[in-house]
Amino acid sequence: MRVVTLSAPDDFDAWRDAARGLAADGTPSDDVVWQVGDVPTDLFAGEAESRAAPAPSPGFAVPRAFLDLARNVVLASDPERFALLYTALTRLRREPKLMEDQADPLIRRVERIAKDVRRDIHKMRAFLRFREAADADGPRYVAWFEPDHHIVRANAAFFVNRFASMRWSILTPEVSIHWNGTALSEGPGAARTDAPDGDPTEEVWKTYYANIFNPARVKVGAMLKEMPRKYWKNMPETALVPQLLADAQAREATMIETAQAKDHAGIGGNSLAAWEALRDEAAGCTRCPLYKPATQTVFGEGPVDAALMFVGEQPGDQEDLAGRPFVGPAGQVFNRALGEAGVDRTRVYVTNAVKHFKYEQRGKRRVHSSPGAGEIKACHWWIDQERMLIRPQVTVALGATAARSLFGKPMTISRERGRVLELPGGGAAWITVHPSYLLRLPDEAKKAEEYARFVEDLRTAHASLG
């Protein structure tokens, strides 16, 4: 038996080097015991003979998908994660297409572990709250968080990029990280009592939260699933939730009555309840494999009686994390263009042809990858249902993917742009570019010209409303 000792529970590089050497030596997975420091991760580690892992070998080719998966799995709290990954690695040498076999029990298990880790990363980003404190150098913002997995170091870059101008500390039971405005440092784990309880800015945040709380979207079961009570004690706004929930039923009933009073209610019409049921069903969509690496389904948003509907391509990185369409860089261009075109975004319905983020992992970055025909087709059912419920007078396709989804076939933007089209099954439509196209243009003069044309497209579509 070989005992491999890793220095930290999230040490992917050390695991990879040891696993590569062991696999090159032909060491069976049953002959390896993995442990972190002096703590064995195997029930029978005490019977093993402690020997150094072999030096890293020149290596061998494995699918990139496996490495991306392993980076997440190593962060898990599952004590068998290292052994499971090494078993998968040794099998990959014999079964090069193992990663494609989604029915394989081992692949299914490690995929499930990776998804749990990604959700934990997302929850840390969504539910961590800084509170203002002070030290000898001035204000410092301190947050307490209790992750389920070993994600703190892997998540550090997100908070450095998001809060680069602040001095902050994130305290967790296992490890603490500190940013002084220029450099990141690490410290030992802490206790909840080491973090401050509150600060004056929380009252402002609570007032804001109470005003944006939407009773029509309150689903207690879904809310608790996405935001378990374990996070509530660290989030100032959750103190308001019980009273807001108590008021929600009456407020929701009023909103539904108002919506139903309009002449859009009934089968196939703008039923708020039906739209909510559709959104909740989409949250568990598994119609294509894109749901596996994605953080969550990103459904459409906007009034259920909107006369104007915009369909984009797919969520991007920021949309995948936020759970809302068009909130990233392309969304900012879209919002600015809507404003210049005289269109109020709060009065239009915005969605995407594909509801999950498709991407390639390049280091720590998730790079957008265009959805394929099969993925567009798999998601077409959701667009059909949204259009049936919203019943927009005019639908605008933003880009080729959206146009293909709406018309059921490839559409040439340059040929169809600037004229009203009839959708299959009825309804007026316009086709224009996706705002991300404008971001990719290198020439500033060309970018300004195309942006002005995009604004005019939006203005024309809006003006065509009857």
pLDDT at 227: 60
**Residues 280 and 355: beta-carbon distance below 8 Å:** no
| More confident of the two residues 124 and 58 | 124
pLDDT band at 354 (very low <50, low <70, confident <90, very high): very high
Average confidence (pLDDT) over 123-145: 84
Q: What's the mean per-residue pLDDT of the chain? A: 84
Q: 28-37, 215-224, 230-239 — which is least confidently predicted?
A: 215-224
pLDDT at 136: 83
Average confidence (pLDDT) over 192-205: 62
pLDDT at 112: 94
Average confidence (pLDDT) over 267-288: 78
pLDDT band at 244 (very low <50, low <70, confident <90, very high): low
Q: Residue 132: pLDDT above 90? A: no
**Residues 145 and 159: beta-carbon distance below 8 Å:** no
- Name the nearest CA neighbour of 290 among 400, 376, 367, 222: 376
Q: Residue 343: pLDDT above 50? A: yes
**Residues 321 and 361: beta-carbon distance below 8 Å:** no
pLDDT tens digit sequence for 74-100: 999 999 999 999 999 999 988 888 988
Q: Name the CA dihedral angle for 84, 87, 92, 97, rounded to a multiple of 10 degrees.
A: -50
Q: Are strands 175-179 and 359-362 parallel, antiparallel or unpaired?
A: unpaired
Rounded Cα distance between 345 and 325, Å, is: 12
pLDDT tens digit sequence for 14-67: 999 999 989 988 899 999 999 998 765 554 444 444 444 445 445 567 888 899
34 three-class SS? strand
Integer-rounded Cα Rg, in Å, for the chain is: 25
Prediction pTM value: 0.48
248 three-class SS? helix
Question: Where do we find the tokens 């957008």?
Answer: 368
Q: Name the CA dihedral angle for 454, 459, 465, 466, rounded to a multiple of 10 degrees.
A: -140
Residue 102 burial by Cβ neighbours in a 10 Å radius (0-12, 13-18, 19+): exposed
Rounded Cα distance between 361 and 270, Å, is: 39
Rounded Cα distance between 446 and 452, Å, is: 10
- Name the nearest CA neighbour of 22 among 45, 4, 43: 4
**Residues 205 and 237: beta-carbon distance below 8 Å:** yes
Contact partners, residue 178, CB within 8 Å, separation at least 6:
168, 169, 170, 184, 185, 186, 187
Under CATH, which architecture does the 262-463 domain have? 3-Layer(aba) Sandwich (3.40)
Q: Residue 1: pLDDT above 50? A: yes
**CA of 267: how far to CAs of 114, 258, 264, 300, in Å?**
41, 17, 9, 20
Rounded Cα distance between 5 and 82, Å, is: 11
Nearest 5°: the CA angle 54, 59, 63 is: 130
Q: What phi, psi does 56 have (nearest 5°)? A: -55, 135
Rounded Cα distance between 355 and 11, Å, is: 33
pLDDT at 263: 43
Strand ranges, E, within 250-408: 308-312, 349-352, 359-362, 365-368, 394-398
**Residues 300 and 388: beta-carbon distance below 8 Å:** no
Helices (DSSP H) in 213-347: which residue ranges? 220-226, 241-261, 272-282, 317-322, 329-340
> Which tokens in the block code for residue 366?
């998730």
36 three-class SS? strand
Q: Are strands 394-398 and 308-312 parallel, antiparallel or unpaired?
A: parallel
> Which tokens in the block code for residue 367?
């790079």
Rounded Cα distance between 23 and 21, Å, is: 5
Rounded Cα distance between 313 and 398, Å, is: 7
For the chain, residues classed under CATH 3.40.470.10 are 262-463
